Amino acid sequence: MDHDRHAPNDTHFPVVTGEPPKCRSIYVYVLFRAKGPSVTPPQEPEPSAPLTPAQAFDALYAFCAPALVRQTYLLTGRRELARESVERAFQLAWQRWPEVARDRDPGGWVRAAAYDCALSPWHRFHPRYRHPEAPPADPSDRTLLAALLELPPPYRRTLLLYDGVGLDLPETAAETEASTPAAAGRLLHAREVVAARLPDLADPPELRRRLAALAATERLRAAKPPQVRTGSERRTRFWTHAAIACTVTLIGTTSFVLSTAPTHYEPPVAVGRAIEGLPPRVSQGALSHKEAELRAWLRSRTAHGPERLVPLGR
C-alpha cells in the first residue's frame, strides 16, 4: 500500500483532525524479531540470525490477525466472514511474501486485502451469507453495529480506519482510494449517522472507545499460522495445476483443429436454381380397352419360353 499518494496535496480539516489518532501502527517491528508471538519494538539492534520467511510470516500473523478479525467483524457484522476474510488476506500475503516483507507497512497491506475481501459483493450470492447472524447480546452494541451496517461500505471503511484503527486522514484516504477531501466528507457523514442513532457517541473519543469495546466483546479466533501457510500453498498448487490443465487442453484442441482443417481452398457449392423451359409433367390416365388387352397379351407371352431372351422375328 502506498500511503503517500494523497499526502502532497493534503489539506487540513479542523473538524476531523482536531485530535490526533490515539495509536500508530507498529507492524513494521514484527519483522525484526527472531521468534515469539509478542511484539515489542527493539531498543537496540542486536546481532541475531536472520528470520526465515515462515518465522517472519508467523510473527506478523500472531501480531495482526486477532485484532484484524475484530476489525473485519465491525466492517461486515459477520463472524465467520471476518475470519475467512482475514485468513484469505494472509494467504495472499504468503503467496506474495517477498513483496509484503519489503513493504514499509506489512500489516497495512494485509488489512487492505482483508477489507477488500470482506466487502466483496460476491458474498451476497453465497447461501451461507444470505441470512443475518445473531446480533450482540448488549442492546447498545446491537444499536451501534446496526448503525455501522447502515452506512455504505466506503463510509463504513473510512470510519473504521480513522476512528477504529487510528490512521490519520491522508492514510485513510490512500487506503480507501479516495482523495483527502472525499475521505473527510465520508468520515463526517458516518459520524453524523452514528450520532443520530446513539447521541452519546457524538464525541469522537467516546466513539473510538465504544468501537474497541464492541470488537472486544465478541469471541473471535483466527486460525493458526501453519494452517494459513498450508492453505495458501495448497491453493497455489491447485491453481497451478488448473492452469497447466487448461494450457494442455488448449494445446490439444489447437493441434486437433490444425490436423483436421482443410489444406486448400474449396469453393462453396452454388445455390440450386429452378430449371425453366421444360414441358409440364402430364399425369398418366386410365388405359383404354385396346391398351389393356395389349398389356394382358404381353404379360402372358413373356411369362415363360425363349421369347424372354430371343426377340421375335418380323
Q: What is the DSSP string of 145-195?
A: HHHHHHS-HHHHHHHIIIIII---HHHHHHHTT--HHHHHHHHHHHHHHHH
196 is written with which cell numbers? 443520530
Q: Residue 283: pLDDT band by 50, 70, 90 thresholds? A: confident
pLDDT recorded at residue 166: 87
Instruction: Fill in the DSSP letter of residue 200.
Output: G
What is the overall mean pLDDT for the chain?
78
Model confidence pTM above 0.85: no
- For residue 46, what pLDDT is reported? 55
**Dihedral over alpha carbons 134, 199, 175, 88 (to 10 degrees):** -10
pLDDT for 264 equals: 83
List b or e across 81-93, with b for residues whose CB sees 16 or more CB atoms inside 10 angstroms. bbbbbbbbbbbbb
Residue 4: pLDDT over 60? no
Given a contact cutoff of 8 angstroms between Cβ atoms, the answer to whether 49 and 34 are in contact is: yes
Q: Which of 55, 80, 103, 97 is nearest to 226 (CA)?
A: 55
Judged by average pLDDT, the poorest of 26-30, 150-154, 198-202 is 26-30
| 39: pLDDT strictly greater than 80 | no
pLDDT at 115: 92
Determine which of 67-76, 181-190, 211-220 has the lowest per-residue pLDDT on average. Answer: 211-220
Q: Which residue has the higher pLDDT, 147 or 39?
A: 147
Higher pLDDT, 253 or 274: 253
pLDDT per residue as tens digits for the range 92-118 = 999 889 889 888 889 899 999 999 988
pLDDT of residue 123: 75
- Residue among 24, 81, 86 at smallest CA distance from 60: 86
Q: CA Rg, the chain, in Å?
A: 40
Q: Residue 184 is placed in which grid cell? A: 473527510
